[in-house]
Amino acid sequence: MEENTKNINCAEEKIKKEINEILEKYTQTKDNLITILNEVQVKYGYIPKVAQIEISNYLNIALAEIYGVITFYSRFTLVPKGKYNVSVCLGTACFVKGSREILERAKAKLGIEEGQTTQDGKFSLDTTRCVGACGLAPVFTINDEVYGKATVKKIDEVLDMYMAKE
Amino acid sequence: MGKTIEDIDNIRKEKRKELDLRVNINSDSIEKHILVCQGTGCTSSKSPEILENFRRLIEEKNIENVRVIKTGCFGLCSKGPIVIIRPEDTFYSMVKPEDCEEIINTHILGGKIVERLLCKELNGAVVNRLDELPFYKKQMRIALKNCGVINPEDIDEYIAFDGFKALEKVITTMSQDEVIEEISKSGLRGRGGAGFPTGKKWSFVKAENSEQKYVICNADEGDPGAFMDRSILEGDPHSVIEAMAIAGYAIGASKGFIYVRAEYPIAVKRLQIAIEQEREYGLLGKNIFGTDFSFEVEIKLGAGAFVCGEETALIESIEGKRGQPRVKPPYPAKYGLWYKPTLINNVETYANITRIILNGADWYSSIGTETSKGTKVFALGGNVNNVGLVEVPMGTTLREIIYDIGGGIPNGREFKAAQTGGPSGGCIPKEHLDTKIDYESLAQIGSMMGSGGLIVMDDTKCMVNIAKFYLDFTVSESCGKCTPCRIGTKRMLEILERMCDGNGTEEDLYKLEKLAFNIKRSAICGLGQTAPNPVISTMKYFREEYRQHVTAYECKSMECKALAKIKIDEEKCRGCDICKKVCPVGAITGEPGKVHTIDQSKCIKCRSCMQKCPFKAIGC
């Protein structure tokens, strides 16, 4: 138990240090909040609580307000995303070409609902509204990789490939 | 030290000569340029690898006078990745990384065209050149002029094609009022959706007395299915920044912000490169061209909120807050960013500015219709053969866009509806296909221009389901500030869900309509006021379909699975047993040689039996 607490404290200290390195790049004005949050989200895959506290101190914004901003924008999350974040596009162009079925398949295959992460932390599932690759509709993405002209068979194959990976 | 007007002029002359082959098919240049699209669409299908392969091959084989250039989007995204060889303008489509060697050997070294990679028309005819494709014939490129022609990461190439000539003309020869007058006379209207006259907007901000004013570029393209702003930023970022500087000069602002979606990493990167290059050349910063005029631009990233496309919500977001719209008036022209007078225009609007300044307002206003001048870029998508970006003069008909440019509906299906304006727009049925598109005509038939998404739907689409899709979108994107939008749209969605699940009543139709009109009247921002449009327009044109959902509990297109009934025609069925074998859930029973039946309680409406039946006996 004691060992655990120590580990957590260690991890927190590390994040704290890294966050402060990020913060130093910005002036202490409120309009930098979203830019900073974007950077933290990209780095950790979510916005850890210690990061929120550090940002709150640095920009002199109440923690509640920061929480309000994080929950307002769909790009920010409070829980870690999976190692592989699967995101199915539900933009109009993809929708009329059957992206719902792709999403259903991904849900069934991963055994999670949208917005959730698998227990082993390997996969998370999201939906997105248009990645702008409408010429390839329907589209899904895994991390930064875009898979176009998707079919149920294709998402099956791609997910199998990722499942076989580390 | 910044460059002088003479320096820029020299770069232009020299570079223009070098790049003549990009636009002149008869160029006597000894060089050849291999243009590889690096827009988001083509990048998603391995075009960076293609670019690398070409570069490697040219180095390995020691080929001289051939350059490989990365460009922005050519527009015909469904045929990507696209490679074009200039000056001969050969158009290769669906190129794979392994095709590069053949193109180099056969085309570049052998002088022969690689026939199998050419684009085929629907009738099978092979097309050699880009400008021979029916997709491009009816288009007129003003905002997209440089997209697919220049390397967006090289400022010299932009300068070669008249880049910064407009800025130079404006700040050295025109007064602020003259600039605004020119824009007003051109008849340009906001391309973000509402269509407010751009010149008028500029004059409002100019009229305000304030030490600090701001120019904002709205690049928060949230409308799902629209990607023209992204393509302009990816293919021609300098044209937008130059236009912002022109606007800054006209209204008296020295600072600009570009608010761009973080979901567009390529666009963000190209903007960053463009800004850095302009700073280096002194085209951004203090005393541009040695005059008193100074202008700076900063990028602000969005974080995934559709409502931030609304101008006051966007301003709140730049300030680092939740993107909730402010009550208007006062408009941003009076109290905008940090409560200073602020001009906010859309990417595509800015992309027209330099052309208007250089070619004149009279030229621009000669294009288009009585009330809507110039061209509009549409993102053509959905059930249409040629998916991509098209720029056409205002007043072009939907039929021309969908059939002549878009190549019609695939798989032999029929046209059912076209959706314009995204979640704020409406569905346009067949009888209005010949409407000449402009701001007014679209509003008249219950839709709107919006940012220019144009989604085509074939006859397999259920309009109730489409309305539900859009409502689902607005419900999840509603910012929650005002009750009509926060709660009203949710109630509308619930009614639509009931209908699609087979639990709707006729009274629901009435309730839905009443709610729709009430929300339209009472929501505080554009998003809420237009959110009911997809429902209102589909109820207007496809009322019978709604009625079928609530009276006969039937969905003819079978998209609403709870309502779909797949039946076997007793007269046509020969009892061949094929359907029984393909049914994945064992819902079909019947002796061989006798009429088969489907157990509706087991059927999952997968349509496998319909597709396999050799006698076309299964339908709905």
CA A75 to CA B522: how far, in whole Å?
29
Residues B292 and B190 in one domain: yes
What was the pLDDT predicted at B561? 83
The pLDDT, as a whole number, for residue A135 is 84
Choose among B83, B44, B78, B49: nearest CA to B66: B83
Whether the Cβ atoms of residue A123 and residue A162 lie closer than 8 Å to each other:
yes
Domain C-terminal end among B99, B132, B165: B132
Residue B418 Cα distances to B231, B408, B541, angstroms: 22, 12, 12
Using CA coordinates, name the residue in chain B closest to A91. Answer: B224
Report CB contact under 8 Å: B44, A37.
Answer: no
In chain B, the percentage of residues whose pLDDT exceeds 70 is 100
Helix (H) or strand (E) holding B470: helix B463-477
* Chain B residues lying within 8 Å of A101, measured CB to CB: none
Report the pLDDT value the prediction gives residue B584, as an integer from 0 to 100.
Answer: 84
Distance CA B406, CA A4 (A): 62
Angle at CA of residue B425, ends B231 and B146, nearest 5°: 20
**Per-residue pLDDT at A3:** 64
Residue B519 pLDDT > 90: yes
Shared-domain flag, residues B329 and B195: yes
In angstroms and rounded to an integer, the radius of gyration of the C-alpha atoms of chain B is: 27
* Dihedral sign for Cα atoms in the order B155, B158, B159, B160: positive
The whole model's pTM is what?
0.92
Does B536 share its domain with B447? no
**Among B303, B320, B382, beta carbon nearest to A32:** B320
- Pick the closest to residue B41 from A101, A96, A123, A94 (CA basis): A94
Q: Flag whether pLDDT at A8 surpasses 90.
A: no
pLDDT surpasses 70 at B594:
yes
Residue B44 confidence class, pLDDT cut points 50, 70, 90: confident
Tokens of B24: 């002149």
Nearest CA in chain B to A42: B262
**Short-list B136, B148, B42, CA closest to B95:** B42
pLDDT of residue B277: 98
**What span, in angstroms and rounded, lies between the C-alpha atoms of B336 and B353?**
22
Final residue in a domain of this structure, among B458, B474, B496? B458
Nearest-angstrom CA–CA distance, B415 and B164 = 44
Q: B104 and B169: one domain?
A: no
Provide the CATH number for the domain around residue B594: 3.30.70.20
Tokens representing residue B517 in the block: 């009109």
Q: Which residue has the tokens 């019947």?
A: B590
According to DSSP, the β-strands at B426-429 and B453-458 are unpaired
Q: For A66-99, what is each residue's pLDDT tens digit?
A: 999 999 999 999 988 899 999 999 988 899 888 9
DSSP-assigned letter for residue B376: E
| Sign of the CA dihedral with A22 first, then A28, A31, and A33 last | positive
Query: Does the pLDDT of residue A1 top 70, yes or no?
Result: no
Decide if pLDDT at B505 tops 80.
yes
First to last CA, chain A: 29
Q: What is the pLDDT of residues B5-20, one digit of tens each?
A: 999 999 999 999 999 9
pLDDT, tens only, B284-322: 999 999 999 999 999 999 998 999 999 999 999 999 999
CB of A68 within 8 Å of any CB in chain B? yes
- Alpha-carbon distance B608 to A100, whole Å? 18
- What are the structural domain ranges in chain A? 2-72, 84-164
Interface residue A34 vs chain B (CB under 8 A): yes
Closest partner CB to A134 (pick from B77, B301, B306): B77
Tokens of A51: 């990061």
Q: Is the pLDDT of residue B460 over 70?
A: yes
Distance of alpha carbon A90 from alpha carbon B405, whole angstroms:
25
Instruction: Please give the DSSP secondary-structure letter assigned to residue B3.
Output: P
For residues B116 and B120, give the distance between their C-alpha atoms in angstroms, rounded to a whole number.
9
Q: For B259, which residue in chain A has the nearest alpha carbon?
A: A35
Judging contacts by C-beta atoms under 8 Å, the chain B residues touching residue A144 are 265
Indicate the range of B44-48, B543-547, B565-569 predicted with least confidence. Answer: B565-569
Q: What is the predicted pLDDT for the residue at A2?
A: 61
d(CA B502, CA B498): 6
What is the pLDDT of chain B when averaged over all its residues?
A: 94
Distance, in Å, from the CA atom of A148 to the CA atom of A125, rounded to the nearest integer, reads 17
* B24 occurs within a structural domain: no
Identity of the amino acid at B513: E
Which of B43, B94, B227, B468 to substitute to test the interface with A, most A CBs within 10 Å?
B227
In a domain, B17, yes or no: no
B325 plus B289 within the same structural domain? yes
Domain of residue B481, residue span: 463-552
Calpha distance B545→A41 (Å, rounded): 45
Supply B330's token pair.
């006062």
> Which among B80, B300, B305 has CB closest to A73?
B305
User: Does A32 score more than 80 pLDDT?
Assistant: yes
| Residues A80 and A42 sit within 8 Å (Cβ to Cβ) | no
CA dist A42 → A45, A76, A77, B530 (Å): 5, 9, 11, 34
Indicate which CATH number applies to the domain containing B425. 3.10.20.600
B297: left (phi over 0), alpha (psi -120 to 50) or beta: beta
The predicted pLDDT at position A134 comes to 84
How many C-beta atoms surround the C-beta of residue A149 within 10 A?
A: 14
Rounded CA-CA distance B75/A29 in Å is 41
Q: Kindly state whether residues B166 and B294 are assigned to the same domain.
A: yes
Based on the fold, state whether residues B298 and B325 are members of the same structural domain.
yes
Residues of A within 8 A of B222 (CB-CB) are 129-130
Instruction: Domain A84-164: give its CATH superfamily.
Output: Glutaredoxin (3.40.30.10)
A91-105, B351-365, B493-507: the lowest-pLDDT one: A91-105
How many Cβ atoms are within 10 Å of B200's Cβ, its own excluded? Answer: 14
CB contact under 8 Å between A136 and B80, yes or no, is yes
Is B153 in contact with B69 (CB distance < 8 Å)? no
pLDDT tens for B177-187 read: 999 999 999 99
3-state secondary structure of B608: helix
B353: CATH: 3.40.50.11540
The pLDDT value recorded for residue B1 is 63
Which ipTM was obtained for this model?
Answer: 0.91
What's the DSSP call for residue B118? B
Which residue, B76, B97, B132, sits at the end of a domain? Answer: B132
Across the range B163-178, mean pLDDT stands at 97
Pairing between strand B119-120 and B126-127?
antiparallel
Sequence-distant (6+) residues with CB within 8 A of B27 are: B20, B21, B86, B87
pLDDT tens digits, residue range B428-448? 999 999 999 999 999 999 999
DSSP conformation class of B77? G
Contact predicate B470/B527, CB 8 Å: no
Q: Are residues B574 and B541 in the same domain?
A: no
Nearest CA in chain B to A147: B44
Minimum distance, in Å, between the CA of residue B216 and any CA atom of chain A: 15
DSSP sequence for B476-537? HH--SSSHIIIIIHHHHHHHHHHHHTT---HHHHHHHHHHHHHHHHH-SSHHHHHTTHHHHH
Number of domains in chain B: 5
Q: How confident is the model at residue B142 (pLDDT cuts 50, 70, 90)?
A: very high
Question: How many beta carbons lie within 10 A of that of residue A78, not counting itself?
Answer: 12
Alpha-carbon distance B576 to B571, whole Å?
13
* B199 neighbors B186 (Cβ within 8 angstroms): yes
Considering the domain boundaries, does residue B168 fall inside one?
A: yes
What average pLDDT does range B554-564 have in this prediction? 85
Indicate if B185 and B324 belong to the same structural domain.
Answer: yes
- Chain A residue closest in CA terms to B474: A129
Is the domain of B437 the same as that of B504? no
Q: Structure tokens of B535?
A: 């429902």
* pLDDT-derived band at B567, boundaries 50, 70, 90: confident
Per-residue confidence (pLDDT) for residue B256, from 0 to 100:
98
B387 and A32 within 8 Å at the Cβ level: the answer is no
Are B451 and B471 in the same domain?
no
Question: Which chain A residue has its CA at the smallest distance from B463's CA?
Answer: A96
CB nearest to B319's CB, from A31, A37, A139: A31
Indicate yes or no: CB of B225 within 8 angstroms of CB of A134. yes
Highest mean pLDDT among B40-44, B54-58, B220-224, B411-415: B54-58
Judge residue B214's burial from the number of C-beta atoms within 10 Å of its C-beta, 0-12 exposed, 13-18 middle, 19 or more buried.
Answer: buried
The answer to whether residues B262 and B341 belong to one domain is: yes
In tens, the pLDDT along B203-213 reads 999 999 999 99
Residue B546: inside a domain: yes
Separation of alpha carbons B272 and B144, rounded Å: 20
CATH number, position B508: 1.20.1440.230
pLDDT for res B123: 76
Q: A97 in contact with B at a CB cutoff of 8 Å?
A: yes
pLDDT of residue B299: 96
